[in-house]
Amino acid sequence: MITILYFASLRENLGRGAEQIALPTGTCDLKSLRALLRVRGAAWGQAMADGSRVRAAVNQDLAGDDAAIKDGDEIAFFPPVTGG
Amino acid sequence: MPVRIQTEDFEAGREIANLRRDNAAVGAIASFIGVVRELNDGAKVAGMTLEHYPGMTEKSIAGIIEQAKERWNIHDALVVHRVGELKPLDQIVLVAVTGAHRGEAFSACEFIMDYLKTHAPFWKKEQTPGGSRWVEARESDDVAVQRWQSKA
């Protein structure tokens, strides 16, 4: 199982803040996880599209498409940050 | 703890006094305070909600402070950032840096703030007369942080 967190406008658009899912193949990378989530519906397709402005983190570090994901990891998706 | 995320307000004078306490090697303290502005993108802001990613936010800012310490000869740095409900005039963030000389303290303080704005996971939602809206990231913030990548 992996934990996926969603923040800010993404959480509102997708209607959830957190979930746990089983990785189909046991391991994958961020790009394939986004492809897996994209088929859930229109809002998901937009948020998880290639080239989307949505950022991702793996185990609380900013991560790119090729970042590896393994069982037990915490993945987060969120819009560009606006603190300070 | 060099990074604190809290809903409560902070008192810059007390934070700075704690940061430099008993350290006679400190000759300069640079600080920055960000506050809630009443106007943003042409709309009157009645208030805002600041959301963050607990855990990653602290880790990310601690990493930014480490980078600043590698880059400049500074003694210490502190970041206090508020989350939750805030109104115009409220303080949002404090960055304070101590060092032997002002130049390095000024640079490190600005560097930490520029990286915080573009890398630390916080999001603002504003309440305006037209309803609530998520604040969009600014291109000028990306430009600000890029300056540090080209500077030696």
Domain locations in chain B? 3-150
How far apart CA B78 and CA B83 sit, in angstroms, is: 17
Task: Inspect the interface and report whether the beta carbons of A83 and B56 lie closer than 8 Å.
Answer: no
Q: Is A53 within a domain?
A: yes
Q: Residue A83's closest chain B neighbor by CA?
A: B122
Task: Inspect the interface and report whether the beta carbons of A9 and B123 lie closer than 8 Å.
Answer: yes
| Domain B3-150 classification at class level | alpha beta
Task: Inspect the interface and report whether the beta carbons of A7 and B121 lie closer than 8 Å.
Answer: yes
Task: Inspect the interface and report whether the beta carbons of B93 and A84 lie closer than 8 Å.
Answer: yes
Rounded to 5°, the CA angle A26-A27-A30 comes to 135
Q: Is A34 within a domain?
A: yes
Are A2 and B119 in contact by the 8 Å Cβ rule? The answer is: no
DSSP A81: P
Mean pLDDT by 10 residues, chain B (152 residues): 95 98 97 96 95 98 97 97 98 98 98 97 97 94 90 58
Contacting residues of A for B34, CB less than 8 Å apart: 84
Tokens of B132: 């609530």
Domain enclosing residue A6, as ranges:
2-78
Task: Inspect the interface and report whether the beta carbons of B123 and A57 lie closer than 8 Å.
Answer: no
- Count, residues in chain B: 152
Q: What is the pLDDT along chain A (84 residues), one digit of tens a residue?
A: 999 999 999 999 999 999 999 987 766 899 999 999 999 999 999 999 988 899 999 999 999 999 999 999 999 999 999 999
What confidence tens digit (pLDDT) does each residue in B120-148 have? 999 999 999 999 999 999 999 999 999 99
Q: Is residue A36 within 8 angstroms of chain B, CB to CB?
A: no
Determine the pLDDT at residue A79.
97
Distance from CA of B24 to the nearest CA of A (A): 30
Please enumerate residues of B whose Cβ is less than 8 A from a Cβ of A. 34, 50-53, 55-56, 59-60, 81, 92-93, 113, 116-125, 134-137
The full DSSP string for B114-134 is HHHHHHS-EEEEEEETTEEEE
| Residue among A60, A79, A83 minimizing CB distance to B59 | A60
Backbone phi, psi, residue B83, to 5° = -135, 170
Q: Is residue A78 within 8 angstroms of chain B, CB to CB?
A: yes
Determine the pLDDT at residue A74.
97
Tell which residue, B145, B110, B141, has the closest CA to residue A82.
Answer: B141
Determine the pLDDT at residue A23.
87
Kindly report the CATH number assigned to the domain that includes residue A20. 3.10.20.30
Are B47 and B85 in contact by the 8 Å Cβ rule? The answer is: yes
How far apart CA B84 and CA B51 sit, in angstroms, is: 6
Determine the pLDDT at residue A39.
94
Q: Is A84 within a domain?
A: no
| Residue among A62, A76, A81 minimizing CB distance to B123 | A81
